[in-house]
Amino acid sequence: MYRVVDLTYTLDQRQAAIAGHPRLQVTAIHTLAEHGRSNMAITCSLHQGTHVDAPSHFAEGRASIDAVPLDRLVGPAVLADLRGRVGPGSLVQVADIQAGMPPGAALRAKILVLYTGWSAAHFHQPDYYETSPGLHAETAAWLVQQGIRALALDMPTDLATPGGPRHGDAPGHRTLLGAGIPLIEHIGYLDQLRTREFLLVAAPMKVGGGDGAPARVLALEGLPLAEVAAT
């Protein structure tokens, strides 16, 4: 038997929006009282809440979310526990990840999960993006060298850019997405995991040409990971 842990935040209006992005809106098309059925519409950024960034988010001519190979988003995962090592506005160093890995765990062909505790404490707070930790540029380059399958984080990948986005900012995004490594951002509920190695499934909405999409992200514990990795 295996155990399923949902690592996805509910998509709702309590979440902070990225500066310059629209806040989530949910509106009624039909109602049970008036029409005998409920139909709703949503408006939001493709990068709202728990979501996947496609390479096309920062890399010209690279895969959009509907073209990201699914074997990048489904596979064996390993969790690096960074709690107590990073804080507001700090940058995750290579040494932080190495210290937070389970003994003997490898990174190649794995989905690396960074557990900082940031989303658990701040996800529904207005300072979530503005004061979050981020990846050091050298750490992103090192992760590419390690051959990870994807990177999942309980925080934004990069520090917020003062004054809004501009060319050359967000080095973590640019390095990892430029190498074809998808980012699974703003996961949660990592405290519910019983093991630090598991199968991770990230299923983004299949938006044609989208540079990202909200996703349901699941951890499956108790599966034979050696068999999963070999397929």
Task: For 89-100, write each residue's pLDDT tens digit.
Answer: 999 999 999 999
Q: Which pLDDT score is estimated for 60?
A: 87
Contacts of residue 149, Cβ cutoff 8 Å, sequence gap at least 6:
71, 72, 75, 109, 110, 111, 181
Among 178, 217, 224, CA closest to 52: 217
How far is Cα of residue 60 from the mean position of the Cα atoms in its chain? 21
Domains identified in the chain, total number:
1
**pLDDT > 70: what percent of the chain?**
97
User: pLDDT tier at 228 (50, 70, 90 boundaries)?
Assistant: low
Q: Is the model's pLDDT at 124 over the cut of 70?
A: yes
Q: What is the CATH number of the domain that holds 213?
A: 3.50.30.50
**pLDDT > 90: what percent of the chain?**
90
Classify residue 210: in a domain, yes or no.
yes
Classify residue 213: in a domain, yes or no.
yes
Classify residue 17: in a domain, yes or no.
no
Classify residue 100: in a domain, yes or no.
yes
Q: Is the model's pLDDT at 231 over the cut of 60?
A: no
Q: How far apart are CA 222 and CA 231, in angstroms?
A: 17
Number of Cα atoms under 13 Å in the Cβ half of residue 168:
0
User: pLDDT tier at 109 (50, 70, 90 boundaries)?
Assistant: very high
Q: Which pLDDT score is estimated for 129?
A: 95
Task: For 17-29, write each residue's pLDDT tens digit.
Answer: 898 999 999 999 9
| Full domain range(s) for residue 113 | 3-10+46-230
User: pLDDT tier at 112 (50, 70, 90 boundaries)?
Assistant: very high
230 or 199: whose pLDDT is higher?
199
Q: Which pLDDT score is estimated for 99?
A: 98
Classify residue 125: in a domain, yes or no.
yes
- Cα 193 to Cα 75, 93, 115, 181: the distances in Å are 16, 24, 11, 24
Contact by Cβ (8 Å): 106, 80: no
Mean pLDDT of 124-137: 96
Q: What is the DSSP string of 144-161?
A: HHHT-SEEEESS-SS---
Contact by Cβ (8 Å): 34, 160: no
Mean pLDDT of the chain: 95
User: pLDDT tier at 16 (50, 70, 90 boundaries)?
Assistant: confident
Q: How far apart are CA 51 and CA 53, in angstroms?
A: 7
Classify residue 161: in a domain, yes or no.
yes
Q: How far apart are CA 128 and CA 88, in angstroms?
A: 10
Classify residue 66: in a domain, yes or no.
yes
Q: Which pLDDT score is estimated for 131?
A: 96
Number of Cα atoms under 13 Å in the Cβ half of residue 213:
18
Q: Which pLDDT score is estimated for 163?
A: 86
Q: Which pLDDT score is estimated for 59?
A: 87
Classify residue 137: in a domain, yes or no.
yes
Task: For 34-51, write each residue's pLDDT tens digit.
Answer: 999 999 999 999 999 999
**Chain position carrying tokens 């300072």:** 127
Q: Is the model's pLDDT at 190 over the cut of 80?
A: yes
Q: Which pLDDT score is estimated for 225?
A: 77
User: pTM here?
Assistant: 0.95
